[in-house]
């Protein structure tokens, strides 16, 4: 029986491309939001969810991070990275010079900010729920419109491609994670993602001491950032990606020490580190 994988739809999104790269034989189920895709797994309507978590131009996908911090009990069991190649799509026969509004997902709009300023300086910019929902919004628009979306969406919706490869930086890629009821067993080449916050945000040296637990054991940190705790201004949740599996002895000991310093603690999961195939 094939796996049931939830993703941010409609069909044709980069999230669907990530699902196809992960498991082309899976039964794909599109959902209108990252939260809804994750909820499908929690409710048993899907086995896994594939969601975007980080882009090489725009950085973290905050909807996904906030969902993992505050709303979901799921674990990260795998990561994968896919190239992002944005296109400008429009109704058949629509001229680029006549476009008055451009639709796309907020992350895609950010990845094409310079292109839009140079080529559509007078057009309004409107965020859609996904890059492919942007095509639907464009088709429904009463004003001359365009959408930033994957090339595949042009084939699905029978629209024109006005330009390709419009992202502001070459090598644009997005990191996706697979969410499930459990994380992955050790492979010997793993990552672990955690989130935590302190009881006293302004206490000098507390983040330094926490990070020292990893440094003293020779554990590499590949990423560290913060998100508002949503409790009060100036309080933050720290998010860290670490080399190693949570069951590896040095990392296990470090995690236990850091957990003892925190008021909020969450291990998102341990999972194989993505390696691009030669």
The DSSP H or E segment spanning 255 is helix 249-259
The residue from 13, 64, 174, 262 that is catalytic is 174
Closest of 81, 94, 60 to residue 172, by C-alpha: 81
Strand partners, 30: 7
CA dist 233 to 10, 141, 227, 237, Å? 36, 39, 11, 12
Chain mean position to CA 3? 21
d(CA 5, CA 209): 40
Active-site residue, 176 included: yes
Strand partners, 27: 4
Active-site residue, 262 included: no
Alpha helices in 96-198, H assignment, sequence order: 106-111, 113-119, 131-140, 151-157
Could you tell me the two tokens for 16? 């669907």
d(CA 194, CA 51): 17
CA dist 153 to 7, 79, 113, Å? 16, 24, 21
The residue from 13, 31, 64, 176 that is catalytic is 176
d(CA 133, CA 10): 6
DSSP state of 71: I
Dihedral angle over CA of 13, 277, 220, 55, nearest 10: -20
Show which residues are catalytic. Answer: 174, 176
């Amino acid at each position: 029986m094939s796996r049931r994988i939830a993703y941010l739809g409609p069909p044709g999104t980069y999230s669907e491309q990530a699902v196809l790269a992960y498991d082309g034989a899976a039964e794909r189920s599109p959902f209108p939001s990252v939260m809804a895709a994750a909820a499908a797994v929690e409710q048993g309507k899907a086995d896994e969810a594939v969601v975007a978590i980080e882009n090489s131009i725009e950085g973290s996908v905050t909807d996904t991070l906030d969902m993992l911090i505050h709303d979901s009990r799921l674990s990260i069991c795998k990561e994968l990275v896919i190239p992002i190649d944005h296109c400008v799509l429009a109704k058949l026969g629509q001229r680029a010079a006549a476009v008055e509004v451009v639709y796309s997902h907020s992350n895609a709009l950010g990845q094409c900010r310079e292109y839009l300023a140079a080529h559509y300086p007078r057009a309004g910019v409107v965020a859609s729920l996904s890059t492919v929902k942007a095509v639907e919004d464009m088709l429904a628009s009463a004003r001359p419109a365009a959408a930033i979306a994957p090339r595949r969406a042009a084939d699905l919706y029978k629209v024109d491609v006005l330009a390709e490869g419009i992202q502001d930086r070459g090598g644009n890629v997005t990191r996706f994670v697979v969410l499930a009821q459990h994380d992955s067993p050790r492979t010997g080449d793993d990552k672990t993602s955690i989130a935590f916050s302190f009881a006293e945000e302004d206490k000098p040296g507390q983040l330094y001491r926490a990070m020292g637990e990893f440094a003293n054991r020779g554990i590499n940190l590949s990423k560290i950032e913060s998100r508002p705790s949503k409790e009060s201004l100036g309080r933050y949740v720290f998010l860290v990606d670490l080399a190693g599996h949570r069951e590896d002895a040095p990392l296990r000991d470090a995690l236990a020490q850091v957990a003892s310093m925190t008021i909020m603690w969450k291990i998102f999961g341990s999972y194989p580190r993505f390696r691009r195939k030669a």
